Amino acid sequence: MSDVIKLLPDNIANQIAAGEVIQRPASVVKELVENAIDAGSTRIDINIKDAGRTLIQVVDNGKGMSAADATLCFERHATSKVRTADDLFALSTKGFRGEALASIAAIAHVEMRTKEKDASTGSSVTIEGSSIQNQEEIVCPTGTSFSVKNLFYNVPARRNFLKKDSTEFRHIQDEFDRICLAHPDIEFSLTHNENEIYKLPSEILRKRIAQLLGKKSNELLVPIQEETDIVKVTGFVVKPEASRKTRGDQYFFVNNRYFKSPYFNHAISKAFDGLIQSKSYPGYFIYLEVDPAKIDVNVHPTKTEIKFEEDKFIYAILYSSVKQALGKYNIVPTLDFEAETSFEVPAHIRKQPPVEPQIHVNPDYNPFEEFKKESLGSSRSHGVKSTRSTAISAAGFGSSGSSQEWQDFYNIEDEKAQENETIFEHSETLPENYLLNGSHILFNSEKGLKIVNWRRAIERIVYDDISQKFVSQPLSSQKLLFPYDVEASRKECALWMENTSILKQMGFEGSVDGEKIILEAIPAVLQEESINGAMESVLESLNNDQLEKGDLAHYILSSISSAAGLCQHNLSTKDAVHELLNQLQHCEDSNFTPRNKKISSYLSLRSIQDLFI
Ligand code: ADP
Ligand code: MG
């Protein structure tokens, strides 16, 4: 048999390697920016065209490269960061494999310009499909600039596999967020199709988080701080009330490198146990500092998984430091007892000063007269009271044991049985339902006391109504008298612009100006005081990139209905309450809201009795 094994030509080997390292435009951004950081840059500008299909440009002011390095850097396994095997165990740089530039050059047209600080001239290198097209001496500023054009031009399968521009750009933004959060001291900018999306000056961490996630995030951050021999933990967790329905804001960094860890995530979620709803995710920005010899970043080519030698210990430290921080900022009790109500009460009511209850005094009231009438009465309910008074007065407290005392004991037992009946006897004469604390309707039912959360009932009724209408026509919208500004992060603003068509069909109209959305029209079912709540929930839905278009519509519709539930409603008349309950009964699912929250519940007679044991 003849020999069949041949070494792959370099350009093919590089293309194969590229398959692993460069999955999409965002991977190029990540690799180039990480190189710029490793080169000690203090300012990095990123310029993208068509979500990276046409151009990815990264310009830094780092240490630059010599003329020889300017071509060598494109060779596979060409790196200045690892010299010996031992270096692998003490990595302080982002890159170390020497694969990224070789991979990028294999699957795109690349132009690079670079100059070292003390050199008078720099070099320009053009490379396409791993072969150098041109190299020359040029005059350029200190630092390095990469332009990557026509990504995957020679790998059609990859190029066709790319998602729509908005999705690919979102991946770029996600990488950008992670890098910016890992390096708040570096100045960054991100431009897409000539629009500057971010311009971030060098900042302290807290401000960097707020720059990226919107100003309002600043007041929601709770600092954490813990230092042991093995690990130093710093960063922030997001207050439980702002936790999201999506995994959005969960960031772990170790030695300023972003990583994912379901195991450590579990520690944080456990610390939040009982403080957030089961379907919400806590937000966090957690920074670990660990001896580089005790972690292995070599597990995955894109390096978002990291192995920790002392992971169990770190788990315990994370759990306790988050728990402690939540306790220290007094978050635990507020949430346990107030979360639900403070959420349910609409802002306009919460802001009103409390009204003192009025006390009416009847000057003619004579308690003894009443008692006389009662003890003479013949009905069973009145009889209960007289039995009790007789029992107590006849036996007296602490009087010496007598047969009378035992008899009284049984009398009291009897009383209990009679009380049961009394409730029902009374109920016939009471109004049919009650509005409890403005938020719940109570009424008798076969199963016991039925409690309906009427805001949730409205949420279900509105959802059924608008989702039915939405199938055939856009939802009716109301123009606002004055435009209404809603603060949002740049990313949220971009998502808003991207989805204007579906939002318009839902009744929302508005433009974007910097870090705010200026609303001009809202769905007709909403009132102005519910705009913030609705918008928060709509933006959260837009942020969830796991949602298909159909799901997104459902999420936005349920955001609208939930906000409609929090609007002002007049339920002061019996008819209004009846009408509401009647509409609820005709809903597709009268037991749960579109977001799967219970609308009504029962207190069985048994559990009510248990309250009085
Ligand atoms: P790695 O980062 O794993 O070393 P890369 O292929 O990403 O491998 O880069 C190869 C080498 O090119 C780096 O080790 C570094 O010496 C040099 N290099 C790449 N980008 C820059 C840059 N922006 N500034 C200075 N040197 C760079
Ligand atoms: Mg690199």
Report pLDDT digits (tens) over 399-413: 344 444 444 444 444
**Could you tell me if 602 and 448 are in contact, meaning their C-beta atoms sit under 8 angstroms apart?**
yes
Which residues are 324's β-sheet partners?
A: none
Q: Which atom of ligand 1 is nearest to the CA of 36?
A: 23
CA angle 322, 236, 512 (to 5 degrees): 140
Is the C-alpha dihedral spanning 271, 273, 275, 280 positive or negative?
Answer: positive
Residue 112 in 3-state DSSP? strand
- The better pLDDT of the pair 334, 276 is held by 276
Residue nearest to atom 23 of ligand 1 (CA): 36
Ligand nearest the Cα atom of residue 68: 1
**33 Cα to the center of ligand 2, angstroms:** 8
Best of 29, 38, 66 for a ligand 1 pocket test (most atoms within 8 Å of beta carbon):
38
The full 3-state SS of 202-228, as one line of letters, equals CCCHHHHHHHHHCHHHHHHEEEEEEEC
**232 Cα to the center of ligand 1, angstroms:** 29
Question: What does pLDDT average to over the chain?
Answer: 79
Question: Residue 321: enclosing H or E segment and its boundaries?
Answer: helix 311-328
Is the C-alpha dihedral spanning 545, 546, 548, 551 positive or negative?
Answer: negative
Residue nearest to atom 17 of ligand 1 (CA): 73
Residue whose pair of structure tokens reads 């350009």 in the numeric block: 11
Q: What tokens were used for 35?
A: 């190189």
Strand blocks (E) in 329-471: 433-436, 440-445, 448-453
Residue 382 pLDDT greater than 50, yes or no = no
- The CB density around residue 479, as the number of other CB atoms within 10 Å, is 9
**89 Cα to the center of ligand 1, angstroms:** 19
Ligand nearest the Cα atom of residue 91: 1
Q: Which atom of ligand 1 is nearest to the CA of 74?
A: 6
Categorize the per-residue pLDDT at 82 as very low, low, confident or very high, splitting at 50, 70 and 90.
low
Report pLDDT digits (tens) over 441-493: 887 777 777 888 888 888 888 888 888 887 777 888 899 888 999 998 888 89
Decide: residue 89, CB within 10 A, 0-12 exposed, 13-18 middle, 19+ buried.
middle
Lining ligand 1 with CB less than 6 A are 31, 35-36, 39, 60, 62-65, 73, 78-81, 95-102, 144
CA angle 458, 477, 498 (to 5 degrees): 105
What is the Cα–Cα distance from 90 to 148, expressed in whole angstroms?
A: 31
Specify the pLDDT at position 275.
81
Q: What tokens were used for 100?
A: 């990224």
**Could you tell me if 479 and 532 are in contact, meaning their C-beta atoms sit under 8 angstroms apart?**
no
Q: Which atom of ligand 1 is nearest to the CA of 62?
A: 24
Ligand nearest the Cα atom of residue 33: 1
pTM recorded for the entire structure: 0.60
Among 314, 229, 331, 312, residue whose Cα is nearest residue 272: 331
Strand blocks (E) in 327-476: 433-436, 440-445, 448-453
What is the Cα–Cα distance from 456 to 477, expressed in whole angstroms?
A: 22
Specify the pLDDT at position 300.
62
Specify the pLDDT at position 363.
62
Decide: residue 257, CB within 10 A, 0-12 exposed, 13-18 middle, 19+ buried.
buried
Ligand nearest the Cα atom of residue 79: 1
**8 Cα to the center of ligand 1, angstroms:** 24
Q: Which atom of ligand 1 is nearest to the CA of 79?
A: 14
- The better pLDDT of the pair 243, 362 is held by 243
Q: Where are the alpha helices (DSSP H) in 123-185?
A: 156-161, 165-182
Q: What tokens were used for 243?
A: 């936790």
**Could you tell me if 599 and 590 are in contact, meaning their C-beta atoms sit under 8 angstroms apart?**
yes
Decide: residue 535, CB within 10 A, 0-12 exposed, 13-18 middle, 19+ buried.
buried
Report how far Cα 8 is from the mean position of its chain's Cα atoms.
Answer: 47
Ligand nearest the Cα atom of residue 58: 1
Low-confidence winner among 249-258, 292-301, 520-529 (lowest mean pLDDT): 292-301
Q: What would the mean pLDDT of 365-391 be, rounded to a whole number?
A: 41
Q: What would the mean pLDDT of 511-526 be, rounded to a whole number?
A: 91
Mark residue 130 as left, alpha or beta (left: phi above 0; alpha: psi -120 to 50; beta: remaining). left
Specify the pLDDT at position 361.
60
Q: What tokens were used for 354?
A: 């409390």
Percent of the chain with pLDDT over 70: 76
Q: Which atom of ligand 1 is nearest to the CA of 93?
A: 2
**47 Cα to the center of ligand 2, angstroms:** 19
Residue 200 pLDDT greater than 50, yes or no = yes
- The better pLDDT of the pair 462, 64 is held by 64
Q: Which atom of ligand 1 is nearest to the CA of 101?
A: 6
**Could you tell me if 148 and 57 are in contact, meaning their C-beta atoms sit under 8 angstroms apart?**
yes
**179 Cα to the center of ligand 1, angstroms:** 17
Best of 30, 44, 87, 101 for a ligand 1 pocket test (most atoms within 8 Å of beta carbon):
101
Specify the pLDDT at position 120.
95
**172 Cα to the center of ligand 2, angstroms:** 17
Best of 73, 87, 93, 114 for a ligand 1 pocket test (most atoms within 8 Å of beta carbon):
73
What is the Cα–Cα distance from 194 to 247, expressed in whole angstroms?
A: 30
CA dihedral 83→89→95→96, nearest 10 degrees, is: 30
Q: What is the CA radius of gyration of the chain?
A: 34
What is the Cα–Cα distance from 329 to 223, expressed in whole angstroms?
A: 9
How many Cα atoms sit within 13 Å of 570 on the Cβ side? 2
